[in-house]
Amino acid sequence: MLSNKTNIICILHILQEYSDEAHILPMRDIIAKMRAIYGISIDRRTVYSMIEALNLLNYDISTYEENGVGYYLRARVFEPSEVRLLTDRIYSMGFISQRQTNALLEKLQSTQSIHARRKYKHLKAAQTRKSTNAELFWIIEQLDEAIEKNRKVAFDYYNYTVNKKLVLRRAEKYLVNPYRMVCANEKYYLVCNYDKYENISHYRIDMIKNLEIAELPRKPLPANFNLNDYSNALVYMFDGTCEDVEIVCDNLMAGEVIDRFGSDVRMTPIDEDRFKLQIHAPPHGLKFWALQYLPYCEIVAPAWLREEIKESIRTNRYGD
């Protein structure tokens, strides 16, 4: 049986678990739950005192004097709308395994009352392929530690085959200098470098397994390399040197452009039907993006990229 010293914690737990704006707990219910759940007999004056102390500690508890019914926890770590938004987001993250998804959602939804949690039983996720890498969160923690300590990391890297199996890309472990982790295109990437090269590489973290922090100092970033620009370029799905690219788009593409590249992208009206998109990014990523919207987008610069797209159209697999 718990002692009276735990009264304030027990009352807080009862308010967190059973109260909200639509389910206000009268004094008699708080006293009854203290006895039923924790085996503690408590009087009304003690409850008043504990709730007053909780409010002084910045727990926002509505009182009988305010609502005329009883007591409820008015503010929580996450508001219901925030929990719903984060729940949807976690469902959509394919790089998180189903087991980790379930565990995360349970923790997130535990910030709400039992009454609010019932609402999430009606939430159904669209079909999303979930990662099978159970090491993901541990790997992220290890990468954080390696970056903080300026150490190299070694890992196995996997790819999917046509028979939908994950296989090692090579038998030898990758040994790289880790610089940053970036979330882009619903994936987490490790931005890194090899000792013998000056260029930067990136790898999907959900495809990394058996990671080890090496007892070797990390090589500094190549001179004059802008890590922020490279991280931002991952939004365009391909690595490589960034260039200035100009694309003429039909006005109906405005929403897609902003969704893909953000509201800071430069869009200049040409006439009533078209605008010019100017963007600094890896050209090959933009090439494949533009090919998706061939009837509505036309790359005009650089000239070599325009010629590549024309050649792709001439040699497409569908014939003339």
Residues 89-133: tens digit of each pLDDT: 777 666 677 777 778 888 888 888 888 877 766 555 554 555 666
- pLDDT band at residue 258 under the 50/70/90 scheme: confident
The residue-averaged pLDDT of 17-26 equals 92
For 79, the token pair is 């508001």
Average pLDDT of the segment spanning 5-25? 91
- The pLDDT assigned to 121 comes to 63
DSSP 4: G
pLDDT level of residue 241 (50, 70, 90 thresholds): low
pLDDT digits (tens, 9 = 90+) for 160-211: 776 767 788 889 999 999 998 887 767 788 888 888 877 778 888 888 999 9
pLDDT at 250 over 80: yes
Taken in order 300, 305, 311, 315, is the CA torsion positive or negative?
negative
Percentage of the chain lying above the pLDDT 70 cut: 86
pLDDT band at 239 (very low <50, low <70, confident <90, very high): low
Q: How high is the pLDDT of residue 15?
A: 94
Which comes out higher in pLDDT, residue 65 or 2? 65
pLDDT of residue 149: 93
Instruction: Give the tens place of pLDDT for each residue, 271-286.
Output: 888 889 888 877 777 7
Q: pLDDT value at position 305? A: 87
Q: How many C-beta neighbours within 10 Å does residue 228 have?
A: 8
pLDDT at 281: 75
For the segment(s) 237-314, the CATH number from 3.40.50, 3.30.450, 1.10.1740, 3.30.70 is: 3.30.70
Quote the tokens at residue 97: 């395994």
Please state, in angstroms and rounded to a whole number, the distance separating the CA atoms of residues 42 and 31: 6
Mean pLDDT score of the chain: 83
Provide the strand spans (E) within 2-94. 61-62, 72-73
According to CATH, what is the number of the domain 4-73? 1.10.10
The crossing angle, in degrees rounded to 10, of helices 44-56 and 27-38 is 90
DSSP assignment string, 101-159: HHHHHHHHHTTS-HHHHGGGGG--PPP-PPP--TTHHHHHHHHHHHHHHTEEEEEEEEE
